[in-house]
A and B are shown apart, each in its own frame.
Chain A
Amino acid sequence: MRPSARSLNESERYCVRSLIFIDMPETRAKLLQSLSPRVGQNVKTGESRARLGNLMPSATTTGKPLRKGAPIDWTKVVLNGAMPLAGVLAALAIAGIFLALLKVDPLTAYKSLVDGALGSTFGLTQTLVKATPLLLVGLGICIAFRANVINIGAEGQIIMGALAGAALPLSMPGLPGFVLVPLACIGGFAAGAFWGFIPGILKARLRVNEILSTIMMNAIALQFMNFLLQGPLMDPENVRRGTFLAQSARLPKEVWLPRLVPQTLLHSGLFIAIILAVVVYIFLWRTTIGYQIRAVGLSPDASGYAGIDVRANIALSMTLAGGFAGLAGVIEVIGVQHRLLEGLTSGYGFTGIVAALLGGLHPIGLIPASVVFGGLLVGADKMQRAVQIPSSLVTAILGMIVLFVSGAGIWAKSWAAKRLAGRPQGTEATK
């Protein structure tokens, strides 16, 4: 009954068990070799796995050697890819009913949507321009979500980042671009991070609900920007002319991000965002800090028992989320608008959450997801103009897409679980 290493006797087994706790692989291997050459080989290098399998048949389920990678479950791959797509299509179908009720031909409407997003160079580049801040915001949302913290405060964090990203270059004209651009980016990241740190530390220390606090932080940031735009930051040109437009002066040319396609707004910030997506992926899955953040998000109890500082990681994840949103604000300022002005966020802080969800809260999945949402935003504009439908319906369609995609995800999961349950060898096989 008892699983045992049959070819080792009792005392050998005991020795082996004690020896693995020696913290020096070389010494351990040597000791093991002196005990039994076969075992030593195996444990030292892990090469003769199959032979070890023979030695200790009970170590594996079916006599198969332990494999390096998990088996690829093709059903899962197909489901992961196809389900979001099916969700989008289902949402569009239902939205089509609403369009029909408004006496608009859904096909015409959708054609104008696709046309607007992909049909022209300008449309295509606009899609990518809008995808950039969504991607950056979404990266922060991903990090926060992995720590089980929901950051609704990206709007405010974008604003704080944009403020810093505009104020720094304005206050230091004449510096070269290679100084100004990093300075603006770091300043904006720091400002957004600070705006995320406040609700983060409140949650970690006092268990203040982060959803409520970040929403309020949004309002504060918005009014703070309005105040600065009406006062200290207002374009002196405007004041001189007496127009009093609520916008800042134009930033020095040195800090503008280079345009990738002439006559369009597409700028090199897109590359920054994509590179950061890879960085965040590595951060979350390859570093100790990312490991801790994910552990805290999945099980604060087990993390606490493992000596991980749960509070610090909650605060950290919010700080990073704020930083990425702040960076989105900077990029928007130095890449697109070249000045600070009202309505700069365009709701990216909220749409970014939705994009992050569509991307499966995965930094790499977020790249296509933000392009999809960028395209929807651009296409929706065109659709609105082409078929004369209220813009709120466009928002409703976006909402439905998220609902259907996440619903499809849940459905796929429960379906997979049922399939496993129906298969007696499934999880039971590991017993």
Chain B
Amino acid sequence: MTAAREAVRPKTGRVEMRDIVKRFPGVLANSGVCFDVVPGEVHALLGENGAGKSTLMRQLYGMYRPDSGQIIVDGTVRNFRSPADAIAAGIGMIHQHFMLVPTMTVAQNVALGLPSGRGPFTDTKGVSKEVTRLGNEYGLKVDPDAFVWQLSVGEQQRVEIIKALYRGAGLVILDEPTAVLTPQEVEDLFTTFRTMLTEGHSLIFISHKLYEVKAISDRVTVLRDGQVVGSGRTCDLSQQDLVHMMVGREVKDPDPRPHTPGPELVKMQGLKAMGDRGLEALRGIDLSIRSGEILGLAGVSGNGQKELAECLAGMRKLSSGKLLVEGHDMTNATVNERFDRGMAFIPEERMRDGAIREFTVGENVFLHDHMSKRFRRWIFLSFDRMREHALSLVELFSVKTPSLEVPIKNLSGGNIQKLIMARELSRDPFFLVAAQPTRGVDIGASEYIHDSLLAQREKGMAILLISEDLDELRGLSDRIAVMYEGGIIGIVDRGSSTVEELGFMMAGVTLEQMRKDGASTGKACP
């Protein structure tokens, strides 16, 4: 069996993607992207969220089909209809979210979907042996008979890599493989990569983290807005070049409105919390926000911003640390206690957490306040007051809706966000957490939301603005804190930082490191 597998294992040769164009409704995800990998190299794919990296790779893996352009494997044009075709051509992909069956063993997961070596019967022993052999060969130690639910995230990733190798992948695509790993696990993973390279495999490495890209890759291609903005040998490019390519764009001047923040309203002391995958997502956050201040929170998604917002909203438990709002300890407060103390939230997933899709515009307006005396008499809802309130919000925030009785899902994203914003502000909070308030919102609504935030700042509100849009952060924030791997890597004053500096910090380079060296760690050109 082992011999047979060796025979069919293809050493995938040069893989080339030519002029790939992929459209989604309203978005040009890839426009004329060229990309190639040769055996024995690591080609890094770099870019911000939404730059089109994952879309490009999903086309290579047969999950999407390009609208136009060619995928050439070993000199022949291929037309992958499904991942099965891509796997047959020797391409494997390790997704950010693992595709494993938790209740099955490692060996069973590896063999899943493949014909058995023993006809109709499972060949667990044979597979186990092969898993152990691959593990030893590539430094991917994992017990083939362990159940996947028993494994740590790092071990699960190893299973995924073994799965790809077992299926004979010559080219392995890794979508942000280090996002879920501890630093030690990252080291081990890189060792595995080097072994794979000497065996003639090639790797595509999708990442945000510059030092990792510098450390492991031979070539790098940077995508922005669906287009290739730069490509070359990693050793020829400095971190500065890469950051510039990633974020480089016309930078608007920050909003010059003068103002002076008041006293400190919100204090976070050493906030720690676990993420969904059982890793520590927040590793000690210390921040303070003053009255009349917008504190921007920058960072590549997945570095703990989501978890921080959830902790502040009371939807995720803090494992340690303290949250003080106006001197009151809100660390373990319930959601309603937080409301009563004047906290308000604009959640990142507005359609999941901020509104109920099937409820009407009117019903959504008093989602938080239906228990307040204003909107109820005993247990009965006061629809007249609700209507009055909803109408005033709809009109004064220019929410475009045919009536109050339509389900909110019929409104556009911008109008839903304006309504959520109006609802939260109508509760007259003094601490607002706004997570990605303008993501997916049209320009008009964005400006409206920005104006509202600035107006509230002038009224003395403390605002935590979590965003991935650096322009938005630089335009609105008085200070910008950058999150990286669950901690605050640096805080800069508005105006004193360049987009490049923020980009560096988002990629894990502290200000001190930046000043120390022009950042040329990594491989040297031969």
Contact = CB atoms under 8 A, between A and B. Distances in A.
B63 interface: no
B405 A299 contact: no
Contact of B336 (A60, A71, A307): A307
Contacts of A21: 425-428
Nearest to A25: B388
Contacts of A25: 388
A58 interface: yes
A298 B352 CA distance: 10
A69 B455 CA distance: 33
Contact of B357 (A1, A298, A305, A429): A298
B121 interface: no
Contacts of B402: 60-61, 64, 67, 70-71, 429-430
A301 B400 CA distance: 25
B353 A59 contact: no
Interface string B60-81: 0000000000000000000000
A90 to B, nearest CB: 28
Given A16-B396, A20-B392, A305-B354, A291 B403 contact: no
B380 A59 contact: no
Nearest to A16: B396
Contacts of A18: 455, 459
B414 interface: yes
B406 interface: yes
Interface string A189-228: 0000000000000000000000000000000000000000
A288 interface: yes
Interface string B385-412: 0011001111111111111111000111
B403 A67 contact: yes
B455 A17 contact: yes
B357 A287 contact: no
A298 to B, nearest CB: 5
Contact of A17 (B355, B394, B410, B452): B452
B519 interface: no
Interface string A277-292: 0000000001111011
Contacts of A305: 313, 315, 335, 345, 347, 353-354
Interface in B143-174: none
A42 B396 CA distance: 11
Contacts of A66: 391, 394-395, 401, 403-404
A41 B224 CA distance: 51
A56 B395 contact: yes
B400 A61 contact: yes
Interface string A59-100: 111001011111100000000000000000000000000000
A23 interface: yes
A59 B400 CA distance: 5
Interface residues of A, number: 51
Nearest to B310: A305
Given A295-B356, A307-B334, A288 B367 contact: no
B405 A69 contact: yes
Contacts of B400: 3, 58-61, 430-431
A287 B381 contact: yes
B368 interface: yes
A43 B397 CA distance: 13
B137 interface: no
Interface string B341-360: 00001010100111111110
B370 interface: yes
Contact of A3 (B354, B392, B398): B398
Given A20-B393, A305-B335, A46 B345 contact: no
Contact of B412 (A4, A43, A292, A431): A431
A231 interface: no
A68 B386 CA distance: 12
Given A288-B379, A302-B353, A305-B335, A430 B398 contact: no
A2 interface: yes
A304 B334 CA distance: 10
Given A46-B391, A288-B370, A294-B359, 9 more contacts: A56-B398, A66-B391, A70-B405, A287-B380, A298-B357, A298-B359, A302-B354, A307-B334, A429-B402
B241 interface: no
Which 7 residue pairs across A and B have the least CB separation, nearest first? A70-B405, A307-B335, A3-B398, A431-B412, A307-B336, A306-B367, A287-B379
